[in-house]
Structure 1
Amino acid sequence: MENYTLLLVDDEEEVLDAIIKKLDWEALGFTIIGRASSGMKALDIMADCQPDVIMTDIKMPYMNGLELIQHVRADYPTTKVLIFTGFDEFEYAKEALHLSVGEYILKPAGAKELTEVFTRLKEKLDREINESRNVEILQQHYQESLPLMQTNFYSTLLEGKIKEVDLPRYLANYQIPLTGPLYCCLVLHTSLTQAPAEMDISLLVASVQQQAKNYFDQEWEAVYFTYLTDTVMLVQLQNENEVSRLTDDCDHLCKYIFRMIGAIVTIGIGQVAAHLLELDQSYAGARMAVSYRGIYGASRVINIKEVAPQKMEGFNLTDDIELSDLLKKIHVGSADEISAEANKYLDHVYTTEKSLPQHIIVVSELIGSLYRFAANNSISIAPFTKDLKDLYQWLPDLEPEALRRWLVEISNLLHEKLRSAGSRSTQSLVSKAQEYVHQNYANESLSLDDVCQSLGVSNSYFSSMFKRETGKSFIGYLTDYRLDRASRLLLETEEKSYVIGRKIGYIDPNYFSYVFKRRFGLSPLKYRMGYAESDEQRVKTH
Structure 2
Amino acid sequence: MMKHAESLIENIEQLSLQISLKPGVNEALTNPFPYTILQYGLLKNQLKDEVNSNNLLYSVYLYFRLNNRILTTNEGLYALDQFFDKQIVTTNFQESSSKGYQVRSLQDTSPSEPVELLTFHRLVPLTAKEPLGELILNVKRQAFFDALFRYANVDSSKMMIMDSDSYVVLSESNARSRGFTTALRSMNDGHSLPGSSGMVKIEGEDETYFLSYARSDTNPWLVAERIPYSVYQLAWKSKMHAAVQVAAVILLISIALACLYSIRFTRPWKNMVRDYVDQQADYPGNMVKKDESQLVAEAIRELVSENRYIKQTLEQSKPIIRFRLIYDILTNRVFETSVMANRLQHLGIVFPHAYYAAFIVRADMQLLEDQEDYNEIRLLLFSTIENELRKRLFAVGTILENHQFGFILNVPVSTYMTQLKLELDACCQAVNRIGLEEFGITVQIAFGGIYSAMNGLNKSYHEAKRALHNTAWTYQTDCVFFEDSVDARKWSYPLAIQKELLRRLKAVDRESAKLSLDELFDRYMVGKSYSRDDVQDTITLMMGAIVQELYEDGYSLDKVHLRFQSVSECQHIGQVKELFYGYISDIMNLLEQFQDNKMSNTYISKAIAYMQTDYDRIESIADIADHVGVSSSYLSRMFRAETGKAPLDYLTRLRIDKSKELLFEGNCKYSLQEICGQIGYHDVQSFIRFFKKWEKITPGEYRKLRLDKGGVI
Range class of TM-score, shorter chain = 0.3 to 0.5
What's the TM-score once normalised by structure 1's chain length? Answer: 0.44
Task: Give the strand-richer structure, 1 or 2.
Answer: 2
What's the TM-score once normalised by structure 2's chain length? Answer: 0.36
Task: Give the helix-richer structure, 1 or 2.
Answer: 1
Larger relative contact order (CA 8 Å, sep ≥ 6):
1
